[in-house]
Chains A and B, each alone.
Chain A
Amino acid sequence: MSKRSVADLKIGERATIKSFNDQWMSLKLLEMGCLPGAEVCLHCKAPLGDPICLNVSGYCLSMRKSEAATILVE
């Protein structure tokens, strides 16, 4: 349970962002409103499961699964 990331979420599942494990990527994600403590919800996935779409701070953000894996959640 300790190292769960946004990439592990199921559709409709909610989670709170804890930290990031890739500093370069985290700068972009922070700017897009993925802040530690913010709640995210997995909104939908592309048919092959990648990329994914997240609801975060009131809008929809899409990213690749590899990028989602850098966002660790509680």
Chain B
Amino acid sequence: MSSREPAGLQPARSSRIDSLKASPVLALIGNPNAGKSSLFNQLTGLRQKTGNFPGVTVDKKSGTCMLDVQTEATVIDLPGVYSIYPKSPDEQIVTDILANPVHPDYPDVAVVVVDSSNIRRNLLLFTQITDLGVPVVLALNMLDVAKQQHQEVNAVKLAMRLGVPVVRVNARTGEGLDLLKKAVIGQLRQPTLPERLFFDPAQDVAGLIDDTKARYGLTNNYLALQYIIQHDGFSFLNPSQRVGLDEIIDKHQFVETEFQAKETIQRYQRIAAVVTDAVTDSRPLNQPTWSQKMDRVLMHPVGGYIFFALILLLIFQAIFAWAQPFMDAIDEGVAYLNGALKESLPPGAFTDLLTDGILAGIGGVLVFIPQIAALFLLISILEESGYMSRVMILMDRIMRRFGLNGRSVVPLISGVACAVPAIMATRSIGTRRERLITIMVTPLMSCSARLPIYTILIALVVPDQHVLGFLNLQGLVLMGLYLLGLVAALLAAWVFKKLLRVNERSFFIMELPTFKMPRWNHVGLTVWESVRAFVWEAGRVIVAISIVLWVLASYGPGDSLDQAEAKARQQYAGQPAAAIDGHVASERLEASYAGRFGHVIEPAIKPLGYDWKIGIALLSSFAAREVFVGTMATIYSIGGSDADDESTVRERLQAERNPETGGVMYTPALAYSLLVFYVFAMMCMSTIATTYRETKEWKWPAIQLLYMTGLAYMSAFAVYQLFR
């Protein structure tokens, strides 16, 4: 047996040894919560970026780090995994890279980050990675936590037993980083590999391993085993290679699951021997830790939900109240800039495009930054502290019934502010199907952009009176609309659960991290990253659409707009200048491309009770719902400076007559129909852009747009016909 060992340990590419590459690749690997991301931030600082791994839809975090004065390494932060056997598409990437030496991201050195307070489980992954033949540096992190738990880790003994360089680091403070870099350089110059595999499959299934190695030109016994066990999963194998592996499995009558279970048990047995030698554990038995005492309170059947409700209240407070002054300031700033530009630039189409088109569009993006920053600040604090895992456990049972996961709670809460950051928050959901369902239903939660629409339409048709003496009827209707959105989201999730029958077993085996003080630099990075993503990714789309809409509403075929203006000036000649301006704007809008489009779609929206004017508002608010009130103001020709004042819009709407019946246009039936339409309709370009960005397939935003618009149309139709 021992004669086979050296053959199993040939480094995959011996050419790497003699020449130190100009830009070596360093991969950070480790269990979730082992401090991998902290170490990544320490190594790369702000020199990091998020991209994609080639060919897969998994975010790749990479950055650069100076190992010494002349060597700049590329550092890749791989998704956290517990073993080399993947359980989700995110985890698959780790295996796909480490088992494929020709992968462009294959590391020259793998730094395995280990939580020293839980060293047994963390070493399982480490032993698998060294067995694959990758040069490794073991980074012992969280030694302070281990010490608090009365565990002492002897790094020298560990290095001797495992046969690789072992470095003590503190990823939070950056201690030990120099030693880590030195060890990495050492592994780059002259890789030290363990003398023998930690677990050698050839001891049990020599024939199978030899056949596989011979057929696929492999030298490493453990890599050969991975070819066998993961032959369906590896993305780099072609169909004929898979068939070949199937043949070898049949020939040797190899049972994968049984062998994999045996491997895990044997590894743990050997790890136990190493740990007994290298770690002194004087933990007092049966003593609940501080963290465990907290759990008894936070998961209490009554107290747990009360605390969660208080946290929710805090989040709502932050989004609606605390963010408001900043949003107002941005709004005013943009309005001031807009006015200043209009005054200083010569009037004309270019100035209008710059101010009403581009600047208005940019303002529409910037105004959401305070809400997004506040939301992500609180959410990342909850995540960093470890409380978010508890919320997921609190809600898992309830969410599961609707095809969601305990982890779906966060996006659904965030959706009340804005669907864009909410959809970005679904990244924490491991199962692809559950994450997809969450993305698909989150926009049904009533976001803050719907609020102005709700307010104005409710004020129009719901009497301002009290029921049962103290409940405001208008407030009740408003709450009803939010609940309608929540119920629709849960029901839609249930339908998706029935439709998306993926062969993917859902599971919720999750490590419950101990409570920790949030790392404020991480919190800051998260907030910065989400604001940046929103402004650059979604913002570009919003600005583009605003420009297109401005053009459509400002131009018409030929000189039709000027004709319309002349006609209006003639017709309303005797009225005050402000009123004439209003009529002119209205007539020009009707003659514009947008107005014509309104007339074209009128037959389609007639059954819902809408006319062409509402049609334009629908069209213009497709880019962003908040445009609705402004467009209505323009359409119903309110001139002067207070065009956005909601009470005047309301008066105007109340005075509007239905040309066919002669009665009021905005009957309760029409108003309710519009309200229901806006609860359900997917009227937000930035959400569509975000859904695409997060799913990386156009199919999903398309389905989302279709089902939500269909739901909106049918419900609005039913409501209008029912109440007419």
Contacts and interface: CB of A to CB of B under 8 A. Distances in A.
Interface of A: 23-33, 35-36, 43-48, 50-51, 53, 55, 57-64, 67
Nearest to A31: B83
Interface stretch (B22-30, B131-139, B503-511, B607-615): B503-511
B394 A29 contact: no
Contacts of B512: 53, 59-62
Interface stretch (B117-125, B323-331, B448-456, B543-551): B117-125
27 contacts: A28-B507, A29-B509, A31-B82, A31-B124, A33-B120, A44-B295, A44-B296, A46-B304, A46-B393, A47-B394, A48-B398, A51-B396, A51-B406, A53-B295, A53-B299, A55-B292, A57-B118, A58-B149, A58-B283, A59-B512, A60-B291, A60-B512, A60-B514, A62-B508, A63-B507, A64-B396, A67-B507
Contacts of A57: 118, 120-121
Given A44-B296, A61-B512, A25 B118 contact: no
A33 B85 contact: no
Given A27-B85, A29-B509, A51-B406, 12 more contacts: A23-B257, A27-B257, A27-B261, A30-B265, A30-B268, A32-B121, A46-B393, A53-B512, A55-B292, A59-B121, A67-B507, A67-B508
Nearest to B288: A43
Given A26-B261, A31-B124, A31-B264, A61 B510 contact: yes
A23 B261 contact: yes
B398 to A, nearest CB: 8
A67 B511 CA distance: 14
A63 B509 contact: yes
B508 A63 contact: yes
B85 A43 contact: no
B85 A32 contact: no
Contacts of A31: 82-83, 85, 124, 264
Contacts of A50: 396-397
B268 A35 contact: yes
Q: Which 6 A-B pairs have the closest CB atoms?
A: A60-B512, A47-B301, A30-B264, A31-B83, A33-B121, A63-B509
A60 B261 contact: no
A58 B118 contact: yes
Contacts of A46: 299, 304, 393-394, 396-397
Nearest to A64: B508
B87 interface: yes
B215 interface: no
Contacts of B509: 28-29, 32, 61-63, 67
A50 B406 CA distance: 11
A30 B264 CA distance: 7
A47 B299 contact: yes
A58 B118 CA distance: 7
B244 to A, nearest CB: 25
A59 B258 CA distance: 26
Task: Tell me the dominant secondary structure on chain B's binding face.
Answer: helix
B511 A32 contact: yes
Contacts of A45: 299
A68 to B, nearest CB: 10
A27 B260 contact: yes
B296 A61 contact: no
A51 B393 contact: yes
Most B Cβ at <10 Å: residue of A55, A57, A59:
A59
Contacts of B707: none
Contacts of B304: 46-47
A48 B117 contact: no
B197 to A, nearest CB: 19
A51 B508 contact: yes
A59 to B, nearest CB: 5
B292 A25 contact: no
A61 B510 CA distance: 6
B111 to A, nearest CB: 21
**Of listed A23, A25, A33, A61, residue having the most chain B CB within 10 A:** A33
Contact of B511 (A24, A59, A64): A59
B305 interface: yes
Nearest to A11: B296
Contact of A58 (B120, B260, B292, B396): B120
B299 A36 contact: no
Q: Which of B117, B295, B302, B509 has the most CB of A within 10 A?
A: B509
B300 interface: yes
Interface string B296-320: 1001111011000000000000000
A73 B347 CA distance: 82
A12 B120 CA distance: 23
A43 B292 contact: yes
A32 B295 contact: no
Given A23-B261, A36-B265, A47-B394, A60 B508 contact: no
B684 to A, nearest CB: 34
Contact of A30 (B261, B300, B393, B394): B261
B668 to A, nearest CB: 41
A25 B508 CA distance: 11
B511 A28 contact: no
Name the residue in A33, A43, A45, A46 with the highest tally of chain B Cβ atoms < 10 Å from its Cβ.
A46
Interface string B71-108: 00000000000110101000000000000000000000
